[in-house]
Amino acid sequence: MGFWTSRRVVVSGGNGFLGSFVVEKLRAAGCSEIAIPRSSQYDLREKSAALRLYKEARPDIFIHLAAVVGGIGANRANPGRFFYDNAAMGLHLIEAARVAGIEKFVCAGTVCSYPKFTPVPFKEENFWNGYPEETNAPYGLAKKMLLVQLQAFRQQYGLNGIYLVPVNLYGPRDNFDIETSHVIPALIRKCWEAKQARAAEILAWGTGNATREFLYVEDAAEAIVLAAEKYAKPDLVNLGSGEEISIRALLDRIRALVGYDGAIRWDPALPDGQPRRSLDSSRALAEFGWRAKTGLRDGLEQTIRWFERDVMRATRAPVAG
């Protein structure tokens, strides 16, 4: 409790999916001075805005979670935007951290930065052994450069910056927009809407043969807060659950939990993305005592319950009075 009670923290993206849980974990750990910059106040793609944020918030620790993200479709439609916005935000925030002389900078990277054909499970030492999968490459490379910057700034300026690589996240408060969401929320929404409409089938991208590992958002938030307190080395750290599953098996599981009994039509003309994705997260356990707690089935059940409640709230007609 004592570590966080004495520190001021800025969480970029603190109102977002992952960030909102990180803020809750910080408050539970005793941190009472948390600033959450809004894009309407600070355009973090601009260096002047990043410098002004540090001057006004005066953080001891900066946790950088803000990102422009999406699923395969969004990555294919916005490669330039995803590269520029994510690179610019990170570059300016890390430089401003150096200028301000803060205690620690915590940066969330992405599993999309790993090479397309990384041996499974992905180990941190494989991070530079090839080019990322093409549909995610602009986003993955933009985030990857921030690790280079943090390590260079540590070497030259002594900036204490750490870099964490979470695998695909899911959970309550995720983005469930079909056009921009990642795979789990997209499949939950497709199955739920098909059930409501009594649709005979749903369309799924690719072959279903690609595999993924998924990390429940609260577990990821716990890892970030633990690392912010306890980890201070230049080496990246993977954050994963250790549970790999094919997209086909994932959809079968989601379909059963939602209660949709229609058919699945796979479209192999649409991309699968990276062939396999699963992380070795043993470094996180060794360095700051973290391992994931939430199994995929439990996490999916909680996510679906939250989605159904959220949809019901959004669609409930107002009561006249």
Closest CA to 30 of 59, 1, 9: 1
Helix/strand/coil for 12: strand
Name the pLDDT band for 178 (thresholds 50, 70, 90).
Answer: confident
Token code pair at residue 239: 């954050």
Q: What is the DSSP letter of 171?
A: -
Q: CA neighbours within 13 Å on the CB side: how many for 272?
A: 17
Alpha carbon of residue 260 to chain centroid = 28
Q: How does pLDDT run across 95-150, given as a tens digit for each residue? A: 999 999 999 999 999 999 999 999 999 999 999 999 999 989 999 999 999 999 99
pTM: 0.94
pLDDT score recorded for residue 320: 40
Cα–Cα distance, 36 to 207 (Å, whole number): 40
Name the pLDDT band for 255 (thresholds 50, 70, 90).
Answer: very high
Number of neighbouring beta carbons within 10 Å of residue 102: 20
pLDDT score recorded for residue 112: 94
Name the pLDDT band for 319 (thresholds 50, 70, 90).
Answer: very low
Chosen CATH of 2-315 out of 3.40.630.10, 3.30.1490.20, 3.60.21.10, 3.40.50.720: 3.40.50.720
Q: How does pLDDT run across 127-139, given as a tens digit for each residue? A: 999 999 998 999 9
pLDDT score recorded for residue 128: 98
Average pLDDT, the chain: 94
Mean pLDDT of the 215-230 span: 98
Residue with tokens 């993955």: 140
Cα–Cα distance, 81 to 69 (Å, whole number): 10
Percent of the chain beyond pLDDT 70? Answer: 96
Cα–Cα distance, 80 to 78 (Å, whole number): 6
Name the pLDDT band for 321 (thresholds 50, 70, 90).
Answer: very low
pLDDT score recorded for residue 318: 46
CA-based torsion, 313, 177, 241, 281: positive or negative:
negative
pLDDT score recorded for residue 317: 43
In angstroms, what CA-CA distances link 176 with 45, 100, 259, 307? Answer: 26, 37, 18, 8
Catalogue the active-site residues. 139
Query: Do residues 137 and 131 lie in contact, with contact meaning Cβ atoms separated by under 8 Å?
Result: yes
* pLDDT at 218 > cutoff 60: yes
pLDDT score recorded for residue 313: 67
Cα–Cα distance, 164 to 235 (Å, whole number): 9
